[in-house]
Structures are given as structure tokens and as C-alpha cells.
Amino acid sequence: MNTFSIRLIRTLLTLWGVLTLTFFLGRLKGDPVSLMLPITAPLEDFERMRAQMGLDQPLLVQYWVYLSDVLRGDLGQSIAYNRPVAEVIAERIPATLELGIPALLLSTALSIPLGVLSAVKRNRPIDRLIMSLSLTGHSIPNFFIGIVLILLFSVQLGWAPSFGRGTPAHLILPILTLTIYPLAFLIRLTRSSMLDVLHQTYISTARAKGLKERQVVFVHALRNALIPVITIIGIQVASIIAGSAIVETVFSWPGMGWLAVRSIGARDYPVIQGIVLMSAFAFSVTNLAVDLIYVVIDPRIRE
């Protein structure tokens, strides 16, 4: 069995495990029918609606039916929206990508040069400044940053809208909020990785050959230091789908994170399961892509 087959089997087992855990843990939230009917409704109405939704069946029967449907590409029917889950989720994906992709590109484009600069200027004032700012950004939770930005730039200065979606101005504060944490983390990771590489023997050899410092840093050192950085960037790519729930809730941004929070409150099992399954699939595919990028950066990994 080759490496690709092994990875494929592991991916399928991971997706099955995530699907199973989500199915059974989601049922611990309670009965969604109790939220859909008034408390004064007759018991017959509750039983009839549970039968229509298939919730009157034993839990293992419900699981088998759901697993069979997923294998056919059917994620089920949303309880809250009374529409196919795939349609409900597909409507929210563009909104999430509008925030996630710019935030990812911005954090990557800024973190790598700042991390390299901090490593090259180790223990100098610029290094201390970058590290202090990155530590601050890494320590403050997203929801607090979002609230502070709303109070400052929306309430006090009136420069950007505080919530909603519709114009380019609505993108500014959510993207900035999503950018700060991965930016701070990637700066620190890039610096640490660069410091490890800069003390390697082949870097001293490159300098002894008379190569320019810029060539030593960006051609010989950075390429080898990017392996752990790319791993984290890959995780951030996958987190675009599932990791923006708090930010989308703070800014009332109608993306997948906002949908997940609403679905949990409404006990909409099929939508929650669909979002978690898509997130797991995104992580699996991204990890496979990162493994392929490793080989491009360092051909020795192939062997």
C-alpha cells in the first residue's frame, strides 16, 4: 500500500470519526421540537413532528440513516430553515471567504518579513518592539479586539460600519480582527524557526563563501525555516471555515461561523453536522496539500 492510499484511508477514518462524534454529541443539546412548538401545544403535536423529522426512531437507527445519506451526498434537511443543509451552508460560504482569505493573505504577507527581520535583528530595539506587539496580539482574544475596534473606529470616529455586510467598508474591521491573532503567532514562529536555522553549519559555510547577507537569509535560511511556518499557515487555511464564528458573531457577519452559532442555539442538528463535516474535510485536504508543499521546499522530505 503506497503513501497516498494510507493518507486517504486516514482521511476517511478521520471524517467518519468527526461525523460520528458530532452526531451523538449534538443530541446532548436537547430536543429541537421543544423550540419549534409552544409549550402549551398538545403532546400529540410534539410526537407527530418528531415522527416527521425521524427523531422518534432509536438513536442508532437515526445514525445509520444519516450515515447512509451522507455517503450519497445528502447532508439532510435543516430543521430551522426547512431546506437542504447543503443549500443553507453554500449560501454562507462566500461571506466567510470574504473575510478569511484577505485575513490569511494579509497575516502571511506581513508575518514572514517581520519574523525574519526580528530574527536578523535579534535583541535589538526593533526585535523587542516586534516581539512586544506580537505577544500582545497573541494574548488578546478576538472578541475583545473586535469590540475595541467597533468602539474606536465605529462609535467614536465613525470611519467604518460596526456590523453587517454589503459594502467594502463592512470588511475593514472584521478582516483586521481576524488578521491580528494569526499575524502575531506567525511572526513569533517565523522568528523562532529562523533563529534555529541561522545557527546551522551550512549558514556559516554560505557566509564563509562570501555570499551577501541578504542572499544567505532569504535563499538559504528562509527556505529551510518555512517548514513549520507553512504547517501553521495550512491550519489557518482550514480554519477559515470554522475559526471565524466569534468574529462573525461580533460583527453580525452572515457567514458559516454565524450560521453555526445560530444552529447550535436552535438545535439544528443537520446544519451543525454539515458545518463540522465540511470543516474536517477542509483540514484534511489542507494537510495533504501542505505535505506536498513540503516536498517542493525541501526535496529531502521525499526520501
Last residue of a domain, one of 25, 42, 71: 71
Q: What's the pLDDT score for residue 1?
A: 59
The one-letter amino acid at 55: L
Owning domain of residue 241: 88-302
Q: Are residues 192 and 46 in the same domain?
A: no
Query: Which residues, 6+ apart, have CB-to-CB distance to 300 below 8 Å?
Result: none
Last residue of a domain, one of 71, 106, 129: 71
- DSSP result, 267-298: T-HHHHHHHHHHHHHHHHHHHHHHHHHHHHH-
CATH of the domain at 253: 1.10.3720.10
Q: Is 84 helix (H, G, I), strand (E, B) or coil?
A: strand
| Under 8 Å between Cβ of 177 and 246 | no
Q: What's the pLDDT score for residue 30?
A: 66
Q: Are residues 40 and 105 in the same domain?
A: no
Q: What's the pLDDT score for residue 2?
A: 62
Q: Is residue 230 part of a domain?
A: yes
Q: Three cell numbers at 45?
A: 403535536
**Average pLDDT, consecutive stretches of 10 residues, N- to C-terminus, the chain (303 residues):** 70 83 74 68 74 76 84 81 86 87 89 89 88 87 87 86 81 89 88 84 77 77 80 75 75 85 81 83 78 67 55
Q: Please count the structural domains in the chain.
A: 2
Q: Are residues 31 and 145 in the same domain?
A: no
Q: What's the pLDDT score for residue 114?
A: 92
